Chains A and B, each alone.
Chain A
Amino acid sequence: GAGVSQSPSNKVTEKGKDVELRCDPISGHTALYWYRQSLGQGLEFLIYFQGNSAPDKSGLPSDRFSAERTGGSVSTLTIQRTQQEDSAVYLCASSLVQGGKGHFGDGTRLSIL
């Protein structure tokens, strides 16, 4: 069955460029979460959405990071003026209801040269 889909699966870009990462949640899931995972480390919360609104943006590391969700479905995480420390795997999860079990995609591996 269709799970959470993230694209691209890999992205290599030069320092200073902007990048957009996309997440297609499971159809009908109202909650959507973004996490970041550096190599060999745990999951760092970035932001979550309930519908199209973001009740908690507390994990966004700086104002270079932003995210939106449209139509209660697809979400885009944008990183402006990328820095080398932004290199990580960016994971997206969705759940049927807020506070429910999250289903994860396989992430986008972002490498900043």
Chain B
Amino acid sequence: GESVGLHLPTLSVQEGDNSIINCAYSNSASDYFIWYKQESGKGPQFIIDIRSNMDKRQGQRVTVLLNKTVKHLSLQIAATQPGDSAVYFCAEIPNRDDKIIFGKGTRLHILP
């Protein structure tokens, strides 16, 4: 299957610090990118998205950066809080007639 990882990498961050989660995507022609947050026992929740004609987009405490040259996406979370503990997935949609393709996911662990 696509994008199934054996082990999720973990990022441990001190509460109050900024977090940066990185993702490499597969298709240079992908048009649309999404970050999802998944808490234990729940489905993925939309956080923020970005189109390929942009390189940065900001939300509330979150920023997504897109580098098309190296096919890299990052999610920055400012002033990380305990409620930010979750698994974060990047996703790409190659074109408007295609499925959502997920990256492998990163577990964010907040240290007190």
Contact = CB atoms under 8 A, between A and B. Distances in A.
Interface of A: 4, 33, 35-36, 38, 40-45, 48, 50, 55-56, 59, 61, 91, 93, 97-99, 101-107
Given A40-B7, A41-B5, A45-B1, 19 more contacts: A42-B3, A42-B4, A42-B8, A42-B89, A42-B105, A43-B102, A44-B1, A44-B2, A45-B100, A48-B99, A93-B43, A93-B44, A97-B96, A99-B31, A99-B98, A102-B100, A103-B46, A104-B43, A106-B42
Q: Which of B42, B43, B96, B100 has the most CB of A within 10 A?
A: B43
Classify the secondary structure of A's interface with B.
Answer: loop
B96 A43 contact: no
Nearest to B44: A104
A96 to B, nearest CB: 12
